[in-house]
Structure 1
């Protein structure tokens, strides 16, 4: 794991700046206006990335999806219980997309990993495509990480929705964040452990398995990413 200033900047733009924009705009424009304001940093970042490299940034796409879903849920009504589950609806949908991508020739984590390598190395995508074709261990690792993160995100959504529906609001406010961060923490810890295990098998497949970034750990919402 090594420090990557470019990756830190990417996460600052996509995670920290949307939150700051939201907090600054909230007192002046209300919740809906603040959500619109929070979409500006990832939109600008995506436009710059597309202008420079002709590709859409995966992290920005996830952040924008969460913002769009938040606005859509607000349009359904502002009841306390709907507000409590609003954030988890985004993670739930992304979890379902992860799981659904397992039916495709290449799961979602393949594209997230390739996008990460593209930011690190000019020849990263082409090399990763070659490793995907030639290395069964890499293909199995990508599918397993897709399954774990898809199941974890879906479980987090279902639990928080159940809490919001059946529990008193005050209890949900206390328990839900603890459960969410516990689930994310377990998935992050598993991802880093699994990557270390893959590195231990490096000799078996010529190092291919260790090329895969922590696909789930840094590509979604509020969690940091590591350049493995």
Structure 2
């Protein structure tokens, strides 16, 4: 992965996480804004980035649009209720909406997280892509692992939602501003570890095995899915018996 690619992947994270947190404390402590005002203004930059991305790419990213919608609704509700805790709790609405959407996609037989996982496993390899298609068509274990990957992420995101809502209404607002992001990062780490162990890892091994089998078949069309037939040379005693019978 090139340096430019790494920066491109890191920039949205900095805008969506670092800017809101740093902006909140700067506006509240340095400029003396109220908690509600600081939360609202610190959310402006991520909202503008979402809109700009939609305009620049000429297509609406469903996830980005969902995040923007939750931010706007949360801000409006907070202005009406005057409750900064509601603004913190609304962040969990993104996780819960995505988590529910992922689980529904699994129930419908179209696991949503597959599109995010697939490029990492295929690595742009045409042989692996062909192996993926064969496994999806003929391997129940592979399809099961594919669903498990999405189920893990759906459950993790719903769990994150519950933890953040509880924290928003039980911990000080200043604490939850930074702790909410810690919870999010911890949930991501758990999601990567568990989904990797239960799904991505086994799927990678099945892909490699299927790719290797296809390579062997290409070299020797008579090769089976296991190993080629091995001819064992006759033992000395068998040769002796055969010779005696011939005499």
Say yes or no: TM over 0.5.
yes
Distance 1:6 1:75 in 2: 37
Query: How has the CA–CA distance of structure 1 residues 83 and 105 changed in structure 2, closer, same or farther, with 3 Å as cutoff?
Result: same
Contact 1:95–1:151, Cα closer than 8 Å, also in 2: yes
Distance 2:50 2:108 in 1: 28
Task: Report matched runs for 1:34-49 at 5 Å.
Answer: 35-49=43-57
Find the counterpart in structure 2 of residue 144 from structure 1.
148
Distance 2:12 2:179 in 1: 27
Distance 1:127 1:147 in 2: 25
Structure having the higher Rg: 2
Shift of 1:66: 1.7
Secondary structure of the structure 1 residue equivalent to 2:151: helix
User: Please, what TM-score do these two structures have when normalized by structure 2?
Assistant: 0.59
Secondary structure of the structure 2 residue equivalent to 1:206: helix
Query: How has the CA–CA distance of structure 1 residues 63 and 5 changed in structure 2, closer, same or farther, with 3 Å as cutoff?
Result: farther
Q: How many residues align?
A: 196
Structure 2 unmatched runs, 5+? 32-36, 214-247
Query: How has the CA–CA distance of structure 1 residues 207 and 75 changed in structure 2, closer, same or farther, with 3 Å as cutoff?
Result: farther
Task: Report matched runs for 1:166-185 at 5 Å.
Answer: 167-169=170-172, 173=176, 178-185=182-189
User: Please, what TM-score do these two structures have when normalized by structure 1?
Assistant: 0.63
Distance 2:180 2:39 in 1: 21
Find the counterpart in structure 1 of residue 67 from structure 2.
66
Larger mean Cα displacement after TM superposition, 148-157 or 5-14: 5-14
Find the counterpart in structure 1 of residue 235 from structure 2.
none
Shift of 1:206: 3.5
- The superposition leaves residues 73-120 of structure 1 with CA deviations (integer Å, 9 ceiling, x where unpaired) of 111124132123122221111111111111212111123345x47xx7
